[in-house]
Amino acid sequence: MNRVSDEIIITENLVYSYSSEDQEIEMQALAGVNLSIARGEFVAIIGRNGSGKSTLAKHFNALFLPTSGTVRINGMDTQDPRNLWRIRQTVGMVFQNPDNQIVSTTVEEDVAFGPENLGVPPDEIRRRVNLALEWVGMSEYMRHAPHLLSGGQKQRVAIAGVLAMRPKCIVLDEPTAMLDPSGRREVLDTVKRLNKEEGITVVLITHFMDEAALGDRVVVIDQGKIVMDDVPRKIFSQVELIRQLHLDVPQVTRLAHELNKSGVTIPEDALTVEELADALSGSYRESAVASYGE
């Protein structure tokens, strides 16, 4: 039953529990998650430490299997072992630590690792490797040793390694957590471009709110459940609710919120510096006109 639909990832009542070793209790990392992600979407999943966001991500390419409920990737059930390799080819995964996901001693060999595992013919692998490295802007580093690259570059190599498998969707599990600001920008720009230009579905797990604001949609997870699911603007305008979940809103949004509290009436849904600046100059002009009228 291969239902072709617009959704690439569908989870239904996904529960994942494990028993902790020291205290014989069943812990639920995920407690009934219903989520569907459409083709070509850019979804950010946020949540504080231990909220279950990383566990959820590992269900998307069958690294973890649900305790109950189902996860379907492109119509394929992750519980069925026969689907395993096709699922992992469909959904590529980029992890947090760039050092611990690079396998080979040169950049090109590492990017080739995925397609080699899939049994792709040598000429085709070479083509894919060149193209993937071009997409992430790392072509000139082809023959470099990975340990001599910067964090951002390593992470882009990891993304290229996933791209060379021709996935429909990339899941990135806190890919920028260990990077410096310039490395973060490199990785995020790459991801955004892949989503917009190549139409690859992106699921970005993060705890940086500014990164989450890049998504078309933000899913907030807390205690193994989805608590909010909306466009970033709507999510972050609910400053108090977000704070209650021990999360932060983007800096700009927080500033707008604080300004409003101290009497400057401006819309609270600004996500970028430009938007806030426009809103502020607009409200300044209004008040100037008002005082001129007096």
Partner 1 sequence: MFRNITLGQYMPGTSLVHKLDPRIKILLTLVVITILFMVDTFTGYGLVFLFILGVILVARLPVRFVLYGIKPLLFIIVLTFGLHLFMNEGRTLFSIGPLVATYEGAFKGFTMAFRLVLLVLGTSILTLTTSPIELTDGLESLLSPMRGVGIPAHELAMMMTIALRFIPTLLEETEKIMKAQMARGADFETGNALQRAKSLIPLLVPLFVNAFRRADELAMAMEARCYRGGEGRTRMKQMKLTAGDVLTGMVVTAGMVAIAIYL
> Contact between 151 and partner 1 (CB under 8 A)?
no
Taking CB under 8 A as the criterion, the residue among 17, 31, 36, 126 binding partner 1 is: 126
Taking CB under 8 A as the criterion, the residue among 37, 76, 129, 133 binding partner 1 is: 129
d(C-alpha 45, C-alpha 60), whole Å: 13
> Contact between 116 and partner 1 (CB under 8 A)?
yes
> Contact between 178 and partner 1 (CB under 8 A)?
no
Taking CB under 8 A as the criterion, the residue among 41, 108, 186, 222 binding partner 1 is: 108
Token output for 191: 């991801």
Concatenating the DSSP letter of every residue in 24-79 gives --EEEEEEEEEEEEETT-EEEEE--TTSSHHHHHHHTTTSS--SEEEEEETTEETT
Instruction: Kindly indicate which of the ranges 15-23, 104-112, 174-182, 235-243 contains the residues binding partner 1, using the contact rule CB under 8 A.
Output: 104-112
Nearest CB to partner 1, comparing residues 147 and 289? 147
> Contact between 14 and partner 1 (CB under 8 A)?
no
**How far apart are CB 264 and partner 1 at their closest, in Å?**
47
**Which helix (H) or strand (E) element contains residue 12?**
strand 7-19
* CA neighbor of 214 nearest in space, from 42, 57, 96, 95: 42
d(C-alpha 40, C-alpha 94), whole Å: 18
**Do 59 and 6 touch, CB atoms closer than 8 A?**
no
Token output for 218: 């933000």
Nearest CB to partner 1, comparing residues 65 and 288? 65
> Contact between 139 and partner 1 (CB under 8 A)?
no
d(C-alpha 191, C-alpha 29), whole Å: 27
Taking CB under 8 A as the criterion, the residue among 28, 36, 104, 223 binding partner 1 is: 104
**How far apart are CB 116 and partner 1 at their closest, in Å?**
6
Nearest CB to partner 1, comparing residues 109 and 189? 109
> Contact between 131 and partner 1 (CB under 8 A)?
no
Instruction: Kindly indicate which of the ranges 9-17, 46-54, 105-113, 209-217 contains the residues binding partner 1, using the contact rule CB under 8 A.
Output: 105-113
- What is the chain's Cα-based Rg? 21
Taking CB under 8 A as the criterion, the residue among 20, 49, 82, 121 binding partner 1 is: 121
Binding mask 207-226 toward partner 1 (x if CB under 8 A, else -) reads: --------------------
b/e map of 234-251 (b: 16 or more CB within 10 Å)? Answer: ebbbbbeebeebebbbbe
* CA neighbor of 110 nearest in space, from 152, 151, 150, 156: 156
> Contact between 102 and partner 1 (CB under 8 A)?
yes
Instruction: Kindly indicate which of the ranges 74-82, 113-121, 182-190, 246-254 contains the residues binding partner 1, using the contact rule CB under 8 A.
Output: 113-121
**How far apart are CB 18 and partner 1 at their closest, in Å?**
16
Query: How long is the chain?
Result: 294
d(C-alpha 33, C-alpha 205), whole Å: 15
Binding residues vs partner 1 (CB under 8 A)? 61, 63, 85, 88-89, 92-93, 95, 97, 99-106, 108-109, 112-122, 125-126, 129, 145-147, 161-162, 165
